């Protein structure tokens, strides 16, 4: 086994690491419970056979209520948003298109994006950001030369939400140039400042999952939604020969989640907001420079010698944080606030201790 040291730090070293005295600002998984309705089916569950590749028809039908103009045929239920991203990129990469195999995304980015693009034999092109949001001048300059654009609003790792005029311009420019949009909306229900704006059009693929909104990460249920019938069929064809159907028990549980009243999400949002306020104020008081998150559950302060910070906080203070470099954000550290307020307070104390002694 490779010994962990400052030079080889990676998310894999921290994912799933738990311990009594460990305070983890690392993981991007909600610690809040899923709706209790999803457990109720367990004692009566009996189906262990292969499922339909596209996904349970009644789950796809239930999703149509969230997406205007959709039909059950326009969804594919996937192993989390991750599989939806992977399949879409690989399918698009195989298309004959005038644009080169380039995918536009912001920097900072969700750390899997560049890897998924690379696995699909494509190339990542990075957009500049202003205050954590897309620099639209840079977007206008680069979009024509790309085959697809990855949008993630609210964003992991910045917690920023794109302005509606920017999203509308992205929607229309990509339509004009025939560029696909992969809109990763896994945090669409976790926005503190306004309603979500859904980017739409035949060239748009909406990607979402039950991992964050319903705290069901481990069940691996997500989905792909598109009005492009050929793309839907091509994604199903690829899934047939890769993962086949998505976990059927997970899909049944996701179906139960679709029936839960909106109040479940609103109540959780209040908890997220309270934690955001606490951590934001604490990191500001510690003298750090950061953006106030408008959605999701991450913060990305600037920290001098970020790798030393992540290493020392882990090895000397039992506090897990993620290095900004993993998200294309050098000189920053990502904090997730998927932990309760007592732990956030304790974590802040340890961070202050460390920073005071630096
Ligand atoms: C922006 C973003 N997209 C996709 C995923 C993957 O989600 P899933 O669990 O649905 O595969 C994550 C998980 O952290 C994420 O932050």
Q: What is the pTM of this model?
A: 0.96
- Structure tokens given for 356: 């005071």
Q: What is the pLDDT of residue 169?
A: 98
In 3D space, the residue among 34, 18, 20, 81 whose CA is nearest the CA of residue 213 turns out to be 34
Give, using CA atoms, the residue closest to atom 14 of ligand 1: 28
Cα-based distances in Å from 245 to 49, 80, 258, 323: 10, 12, 19, 35
| Contact of 92 with 146, CB cutoff 8 Å | no
Q: Cα of 186 to ligand 1 centre, how many Å?
A: 6
Return the CATH number of the domain spanning residue range 6-33+263-357: 3.90.1150.10
pLDDT tens digits, residue range 9-27? 888 788 777 778 999 999 8
Name the architecture of domain 47-258: 3-Layer(aba) Sandwich (3.40)
How remote is the C-alpha of 300 from its chain's centroid?
Answer: 15
Q: What is the pLDDT of residue 275?
A: 97
Mean pLDDT (the chain) is 95
Exposure pattern of 96-121 as b/e (b: 16+ CB <10 Å)?
eeebebbbbbbbbbbbebbebbeebe
| Contact of 144 with 102, CB cutoff 8 Å | no
pLDDT tens digits, residue range 97-140? 999 999 999 999 999 999 999 999 999 999 999 999 999 999 99
How remote is the C-alpha of 284 from its chain's centroid?
Answer: 25
Any atom of ligand 1 within 6 Å of the Cβ of 211: yes
Mutate to test the pocket of ligand 1, among 82, 111, 253 (most ligand atoms within 8 A of CB): 82
Q: What is the pLDDT of residue 162?
A: 98
Q: What is the pLDDT of residue 20?
A: 80
Q: Cα of 82 to ligand 1 centre, how many Å?
A: 6
Any atom of ligand 1 within 6 Å of the Cβ of 152: yes
Domain boundary assignment for the chain: 6-33+263-357, 47-258
Q: What is the pLDDT of residue 2?
A: 62
Q: Kindly tell me if the per-residue pLDDT of 1 is higher than 70.
A: no
231/28: higher pLDDT: 231
Q: What is the pLDDT of residue 32?
A: 93
Q: What is the pLDDT of residue 3?
A: 73
């Amino acid at each position: 086994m490779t010994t962990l040291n400052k030079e080889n730090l990676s998310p894999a070293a921290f994912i799933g690491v738990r311990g009594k005295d460990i305070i983890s600002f690392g993981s991007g998984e909600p610690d809040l419970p899923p709706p209790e309705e999803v457990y109720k089916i367990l004692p009566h569950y009996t189906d262990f056979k292969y499922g339909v590749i596209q996904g349970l028809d009644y789950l796809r039908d239930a999703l149509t209520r969230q997406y205007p103009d959709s039909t059950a045929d326009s969804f594919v239920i996937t192993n989390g948003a991750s599989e939806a991203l992977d399949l879409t990129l690989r399918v698009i990469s195989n298309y004959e298109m005038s644009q080169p195999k380039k995918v536009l995304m912001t920097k900072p980015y969700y750390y899997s994006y560049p890897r998924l693009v690379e696995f699909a034999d494509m190339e990542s092109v990075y957009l500049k950001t202003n205050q954590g949001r897309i620099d639209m001048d840079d977007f206008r300059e680069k979009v024509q030369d790309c085959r697809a654009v990855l949008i993630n609003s609210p964003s992991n790792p910045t917690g920023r939400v794109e302005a509606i005029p920017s999203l509308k311009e992205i929607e229309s420019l990509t339509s004009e140039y025939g560029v696909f949009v992969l809109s990763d909306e896994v945090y669409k229900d976790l926005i503190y400042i306004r309603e979500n704006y859904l980017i739409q059009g035949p060239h748009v693929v909406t990607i979402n999952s039950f991992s964050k909104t319903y705290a069901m990460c481990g069940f691996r249920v997500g989905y792909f939604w598109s009005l492009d019938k050929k793309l839907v069929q091509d994604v199903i064809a690829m899934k047939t020969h890769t993962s086949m159907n998505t976990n059927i028990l997970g899909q049944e549980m996701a179906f139960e989640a679709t029936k839960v009243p909106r109040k479940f999400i609103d109540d959780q949002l209040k908890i997220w907001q309270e934690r955001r306020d606490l951590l934001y104020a604490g990191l500001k008081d510690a003298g750090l420079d950061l953006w106030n998150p408008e959605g999701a559950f991450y913060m990305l302060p600037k920290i001098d010698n970020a790798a030393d910070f992540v290493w020392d906080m882990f090895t000397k203070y039992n506090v897990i944080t993620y290095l900004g470099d993993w998200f294309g954000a050098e000189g920053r550290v990502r904090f997730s606030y998927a932990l309760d307020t007592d732990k956030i307070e304790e974590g802040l104390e340890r961070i202050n201790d460390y920073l005071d002694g630096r």
